[in-house]
Amino acid sequence: MVERALPSPSEMHAALTARDPSYEGVFYTGVKTTGIFCRPTCPAKRPRPENVEFFPTAHDALLAGFRPCRRCRPMEPRGERPEWVAALLDEVERDPSRRWRDRDLRARGLEPLRVRRWFKRNHRLTFHKYSRARRLATALGRIRKGDGVTNAAFASGYGSLSGFHEAFGKLLGKSPTAAKGAPLLTVTRIATPLGPMVAAADERALFLLEFADRRMLETQLRTLRRRLGCAFAPGTNAVLDRTARELAEYFAGDRLRFGVPVETPGTEFQNSVWDHLARIPGGETVTYGAVAKDLGRAAAVRAVARAVGDNRIAILVPCHRVVGSDGNLTGYGGGLWRKRRLLELESGGAGGTRRAPGAP
């Protein structure tokens, strides 16, 4: 079992004062004068040090008698969509060909600037660009099923072929005809207790699952584009829905094995490492050296470490279960604090509530 150790009080006070997002999931703050507990990044006024109590999990804070803050909502998965965003995205999915204007948002009681800021922060593009990307993805789907470019353009809400070709080229980097045979990966964000994750999948399999704040995320997307010649578009599909559902079961302690089909384009050596990772039982860890030895490459410890770092499917291909030769936690792209929390969850320690391994 992995022991759960909080940082020093001085370190947590400093993180709380700075609202440091890297400490999300590391600790929760109980405020004795109000009886509430918060995330480290809560926008509320900072309490005095003598009025603060720190907890490793939200569950511990609840057991101590504190109630969750209504501003930072510490009981909700980070990255959870507000109700107004969920309703707006539902409308987009019901009719992806719709052309949205600011007046349409105002008619729904939504301030366009607020909508823009939320989408920029959470999707790295504005709502209008998001909705245009969905329209183009719908058009590409029609073309790939045999529809003509002209029909696909007008059915997707475009008033001219020139405008359609221009928009298509900007998003997908190629003409509609050239993109006909290109794979299309649908990208979405999935809220988890350890922060939002970005997932990409086609209709068959999951190709990417990374924490949204991982520095390597953009590199991983570029690598997929280069290897597959694929295009990316926002949205959802059955594979992404299943991924979100199984992740929720995992974080609830009800699943250790996943049934989501995955694709891991890479070199022969990388895939041998990733296949080995997928066979490490939940609740257990192995060293990089042990992986290298099992693969018959005992001297290739550094190469194994690089392949582990290049893994594009976090949690499902459990690179967090690989540790240093001395058992210490090392080298996790999502942050060592996440690696620690994942191992705690799988071992049932520090507030983890593992109950069943889950269906394969």
Active site residues: 319
On whether the CB atoms of residues 348 and 354 are closer than 8 A, the answer is yes
Please report, as a single letter, which amino acid is at residue 195: G
Residues listed for the chain = 360
What is the rounded (10 degree) CA torsion for 22, 28, 30, 35?
Answer: 110
Q: Which two tokens stand for residue 71?
A: 């501003």
- Three-class SS state of 230: coil
Going by their DSSP bridges, the two strands 184-190 and 52-55 should be labelled as unpaired
Instruction: Work out whether the CA dihedral 44, 49, 53, 55 comes out positive or negative.
Output: positive
For residue 233, the surrounding DSSP H or E stretch is strand 231-234
What would the two tokens of residue 100 be? 């949205």
Find, among 194, 192, 190, 318, the residue nearest to 256 by Cα.
318
CA dihedral for 350, 351, 352, 354, sign (positive or negative): positive
Dihedral sign (CA 175, 176, 177, 178): positive
Neighbours of 325 (CB within 10 A): 11
Please answer whether residues 169 and 215 qualify as being in contact, where contact means their C-beta atoms are separated by less than 8 angstroms: no
Closest CA to 210 of 236, 229, 192, 227: 192
The whole-angstrom separation of Cα 118 and Cα 125 is 9
d(CA 310, CA 210): 11
Contact call for residues 67 and 59 (beta carbons, < 8 A) = no
